[in-house]
Amino acid sequence: NKELRYHVAAYASTKIAQQLKTAKRPAAFEEQHRAELTAYRAAAAYFKANDITKLPSPKKLEVEYAQLASEKAKFYEQYKEIKEELLKLKTAKQNVASFFREKEQTQQER
């Protein structure tokens, strides 16, 4: 989503590609605006590679990004809780194993 947002912004904000078509000296114009044209062409290639024919609106992308960010935060909270529980279970497992090792050693000493 972040990459798509970047390419939409790069593609939509470049009027340079249109100006290149009407430039009197296209080679000099292209040299002068190389960075903008490179971003424009990269965005166009990205859209073509991903079969995007109609540009999504930036507002729609922002809403989707906010939704995905909130979902990520929710899942991360669940992940932290589960990870903490796993740590407690591992500690309990080690304690049980240690207890039985000590019990075995005391029985062998007798």
Residue 83 and residue 23 in contact, taking contact as beta carbons nearer than 8 Å: no
Task: Show the tokens assigned to 85.
Answer: 């529980």
The region of weakest confidence among 41-45, 59-63, 89-93, 103-107 is 103-107
Mean pLDDT, all residues of the chain:
83
43, 44, 48, 63, 83 from 78: Cα distances, Å: 36, 39, 37, 23, 8
* Distance between CA atoms of residues 63 and 108, nearest Å: 67
* Distance between CA atoms of residues 40 and 22, nearest Å: 17
Task: Report the predicted TM-score, pTM, of the whole model to 2 decimal places.
Answer: 0.49
Task: Show the tokens assigned to 22.
Answer: 């009407």
The single-letter DSSP state of residue 5 is H
Residue 12 and residue 40 in contact, taking contact as beta carbons nearer than 8 Å: no
* Distance between CA atoms of residues 50 and 41, nearest Å: 14
pLDDT in tens, 91-106: 999 999 998 888 877 7
* Distance between CA atoms of residues 21 and 68, nearest Å: 39
